[in-house]
Amino acid sequence: MSYCINPTCPNPENLAYSEMCQSCGSRLLLRDRYQVIKALGQGGFGATFLAQDQALPGEPSCVIKQLRPSGTAPHVLQMARELFDREAVTLGKIGNHPQVPRLLDYFEDCEQFYLVQEYIHGDTLQQEVKRNGVFSEARVKKFLSELLPLLQHIHERKVIHRDIKPANIIRRAQDGILVLIDFGAVKNQVSQLAQSDQSALTAYAIGTPGFAPPEQMAMRPVFASDLYAVGVTCIYLLSGKSPKDLDYNPTTGEMLWERLVEISDHLSKVLRKMLEVSVRNRYQAAEEVLRALELEPYLDTLAQSVLIQSSTGSESGILCSNSSANPSGQGVAQVAAAIRARRAKTKNATGTYGTGTPPRVLTAKPTTLESNNSGSSSGQKSNTPRQLDTQGLLTAYLKGRRDFALYNLSMLNLQGVDLSGTNFHSSQLQKTNLQGANLHNSDFGQASLNRANLKDANLSKAYLSNSDLEGADLRGADLSYAYLNHANLRGANLCGANLTGAKISEEQLVLAKTNWMTVRPNGKRGLL
């Protein structure tokens, strides 16, 4: 189908490869190369369309953003042109980053303005929550670990996004990496109000009410404004409620959200500071949030995880994938290096910290529940994974601990235990007995579950992306709505397993064992 983008066209749908619109007579091929297929969305600033670039082999898909000025007066067109140029310059400043859609082209045609960008195939976080339900604390932390390094990259280039929200964050189907879209200052319809150029340009870059903090709504955005929007996004991911559905303190203007979510006191404290109404009391940089979340010990692993996903995510059929050689894992690694460099500067020549309170060491301290393999109390990090025995793990869980990322938990007997909502990211669980265990909504991303016993386990909504499940026993396991993208299922036994709604490919299932009792992702039983 060809789609007419004339705003006044009464019937924009046309036959494929038509040259002229049958309803209004407009040309359908933009710039003699872009064939618009369908409308993707419409807002005050104009509209967004899916198109094909007929000038390139294979006619790859792309996204066209059309700015529609509300009048033809010279000063209105000039203001629209400046806004349009500003968005193009903004995308140019950010550079070729794998978590940002590439700018492919921009042009003016018949007093309409067009941006052509890379098409990101995948679901927004808003769509994910509506389809699969709210995120666990572990998944929200993973979300922050992926988005905050990107935000730091953007802010270092003096760019404020101004419209971060779940609908503007896409999980790319190709590799599961989060991509931030809609960067421009071109947000609202350009009107013919009699304003000076300065005030007019500023007035149309406000953002989305509820996600934008007070200083941004007052047209004075700062870098911390984006951090506020990220905080509001976290509340949506945890509760499924948008800002308009939340109550606010009438005196302070603070969002009342804490009764709606079940998270640790630590994460609550971090989110409270991200959501401070007063910008001076808020975190000022993405790096500060990462430090507060105590993610430093995991940054190198997270960087490697993104590097692996980026290098393996070259599936055919994904439209206009980003071929940049600068994977987003480098952004994570840069943040990790910056944190370590800053801390190193606080040490004096003898290796002790200077005056003032010594910074908190984020590596885990050995307790009676954990074995310290390094045999040292110097506080230095060891490459050896931390360990827990069965009783130590269960005791820690009962005391409220939910983060066991990067632990060696291999060969433990955890049959029938409740470990729901737990973070096992990058942990070792080879040959671990988890038969009948409740692992609902737990994070096993990058974890090794090689030959683990997961028979009859509850893994509904579990995050298993890039995990190693080779030879694992998953007979009768509940994997409904589990996220299994890029998991290694070679030789895994899925006989009788429930995969309803699971994110898993046919190629993965071919490598696993299934039978007529296996419930496929579409909800039907039978061999795959």
**Residue 473, C-beta contacts closer than 8 angstroms, at least 6 positions apart:** 435, 451, 452, 453, 454, 455, 492, 493
CB burial of residue 221 (10 Å; 0-12, 13-18, 19+): buried
In a domain, 22, yes or no: yes
The last residue of one of the domains, among 118, 135, 157, is 118
Judge if 277 and 417 occupy the same domain. no
pLDDT (0 to 100) of residue 437: 96
pLDDT (0 to 100) of residue 146: 92
Question: pTM of this prediction?
Answer: 0.56
Cα 482 to Cα 383: distance, rounded to the nearest angstrom: 30
Judge if 79 and 170 occupy the same domain. no
Residue that the structure tokens 């090689």 belong to: 450
Judge if 109 and 127 occupy the same domain. no
In a domain, 33, yes or no: yes
pLDDT (0 to 100) of residue 71: 60
Question: Mean pLDDT for each 10-residue chunk of the chain (528 residues)?
Answer: 88 88 90 91 78 91 83 70 76 81 86 87 95 93 93 90 94 91 54 37 63 90 95 97 92 91 93 95 95 63 47 37 41 55 47 36 36 39 72 91 92 94 93 96 93 96 93 95 92 94 89 90 77
In a domain, 304, yes or no: no
Cα 107 to Cα 116: distance, rounded to the nearest angstrom: 9
Judge if 278 and 147 occupy the same domain. yes
CATH number at residue 488: 2.160.20.80
Judge if 74 and 153 occupy the same domain. no
In a domain, 218, yes or no: yes
Judge if 86 and 208 occupy the same domain. no
CATH number at residue 99: 3.30.200.20
Judge if 153 and 60 occupy the same domain. no
Q: Is 163 a catalytic residue?
A: yes
The last residue of one of the domains, among 257, 281, 296, is 296
User: How many domains is the chain built from?
Assistant: 3
Judge if 62 and 159 occupy the same domain. no
Residue 115 DSSP SS3: strand
Among 189, 153, 138, smallest CA distance to 404 is for: 138
Cα 528 to Cα 524: distance, rounded to the nearest angstrom: 10
The residue range of the domain holding 14 is 2-118
Judge if 435 and 414 occupy the same domain. yes
Q: What is the CA radius of gyration of the chain?
A: 25
In a domain, 28, yes or no: yes
- Count CA within 13 A, CB hemisphere, residue 140: 28
Beta bridge partners of 458: 438, 478
CATH number at residue 168: 1.10.510.10
Judge if 114 and 138 occupy the same domain. no
H-type alpha helices, 204-281: 214-217, 223-239, 265-274
Judge if 104 and 54 occupy the same domain. yes
CB burial of residue 19 (10 Å; 0-12, 13-18, 19+): exposed
pLDDT (0 to 100) of residue 335: 55
pLDDT (0 to 100) of residue 47: 85
In a domain, 326, yes or no: no
Report phi then psi at 147, rounded to 5: -85, -35
Instruction: Specify whether the backbone of 280 is left (phi greater than 0), alpha (psi in -120 to 50) or beta.
Output: alpha
Judge if 88 and 139 occupy the same domain. no
Cα 67 to Cα 189: distance, rounded to the nearest angstrom: 8
pLDDT (0 to 100) of residue 7: 84
In a domain, 240, yes or no: yes
Handedness of CA 265, 278, 346, 303 (dihedral sign): positive
The last residue of one of the domains, among 276, 296, 316, is 296
In a domain, 381, yes or no: no
User: Catalytic: which of 85, 105, 109, 163?
Assistant: 163
pLDDT (0 to 100) of residue 108: 83
Given a contact cutoff of 8 angstroms between Cβ atoms, the answer to whether 74 and 54 are in contact is no
